[in-house]
A = this chain, B = another copy of it.
Amino acid sequence: MAAVASAPAKIILFGEHFVVYGEPAVVTAIDKRAHVSAELRKDRRIYIKSVDLGVSGFFVDEGFKAERGGPDARTKLEPTRIAVQKVLDISKKRVGINVEVHSSIPVASGLGSSAAVAAATAFAVSHVLGAKISREEIFHIAYEAERFVHGTPSGIDPTVSTYGGVILFRKDKGFSPIKVEGDIPLVVGDTGIERSTGEMVAGVRERKEHYASIINPLIKTGGKIALSAAEALEKGDLNTLGELMDINHSLLSAVGVSNEALERLVYVARKAGALGAKLTGAGGGGCMVALSPSNRLKRVAEAIERAGGKAFIARKSDEGVKIES
């Protein structure tokens, strides 16, 4: 019998980049989820199929045999394998597992797709094994899987995928949930421009080192914006939240991570009635996010599409990783 688990994607609402320097970030889980089904095999192999990535293959010990997707298949499936293996290690089971991943989360867009897949995989596999696993263990497994993808991840993605909801995150200090009054209606717009997170982070560091007396106070102010935003979220004050997003976006522009395509989507979203808009994640391409009154979500999404972006409507989700069946 198969077990199915799911885990949510995330959107950074405030504090990307500044979080690297110890400032708080505000992140929300959204209603885009990765679904993973797991079942026992009769042999000892681990078979993983990612429907959306179009890759599948068999892992046995150190070996890998691609079924679909060619030479890239292994790299793409490896984070999922890590999650499976960690659960097998914890539960001390020596069995084979079939894993199938279906995800509605756009990949490589800064939405935490890989952490969501890893968290859902860990939960589904533990369930099919009949093993008890804590959320903290799922978080750690997702974090390890993330390390394969990002080197030294902040921990934001596995935290949100595991626990869901809206969180205030601080590097080395962990996270605390923000109790949000009401909905957070969002439109995410993808520029379609790929960028390297590492290069964007390095660019900010360079500017910060070169113009320390100018950039340091901007980063500190980014932290204040995140704390003010957490308050506005608790009050359900979307107008303030939107304006804080606008200001935060300008500070991200000041540290050098915006670009023409992001500005275009940000401005068309505001013009279409968004309460605020900003780039989200690494910048230099990737995605922007607009906060919009519920009755204008469609209009904002259409405006983003007309301006050349790919848009989807997203809402805050309180559900972290969970068993579906």
A positions within 8 Å CB-CB of B: 207, 210-211, 213-215, 217-218, 220-221, 224-225, 228, 243-244, 246-247, 249-251, 253-254, 256, 258-260, 263-264, 267-268, 271
Contact = CB atoms under 8 A, between A and B. Distances in A.
Contact of A214 (B214, B221, B260): B221
Contacts of A258: 250
B250 A228 contact: no
A263 B253 CA distance: 11
Contacts of A259: 267
A266 to B, nearest CB: 9
B250 A246 contact: no
A224 B213 contact: yes
A271 B263 CA distance: 14
A211 B256 CA distance: 23
Contacts of A224: 213-214, 217
B256 A267 contact: no
Among A217, A220, A250, which residue has the most Cβ atoms of chain B within 10 A?
A: A250
A13 to B, nearest CB: 16
Contacts of A228: 211, 213-214
A77 B225 CA distance: 47
Contacts of A207: 243
A290 to B, nearest CB: 14
A258 B266 CA distance: 12
Contact of A260 (B210, B211, B251, B271): B271
B254 A263 contact: no
A207 B220 CA distance: 18
Contact of A247 (B211, B247, B268): B211
Contacts of A271: 260
A265 to B, nearest CB: 11
A206 to B, nearest CB: 11
Given A217-B221, A228-B211, A263-B267, A246 B256 contact: yes
A251 B224 CA distance: 16
A254 B250 contact: yes
Contacts of A264: 260, 263-264
A254 B256 contact: no
B260 A254 contact: no
19 contacts: A210-B243, A211-B228, A213-B224, A214-B221, A214-B224, A214-B244, A214-B247, A215-B247, A217-B220, A217-B221, A217-B224, A218-B221, A249-B253, A250-B253, A251-B254, A253-B253, A260-B267, A260-B271, A264-B264
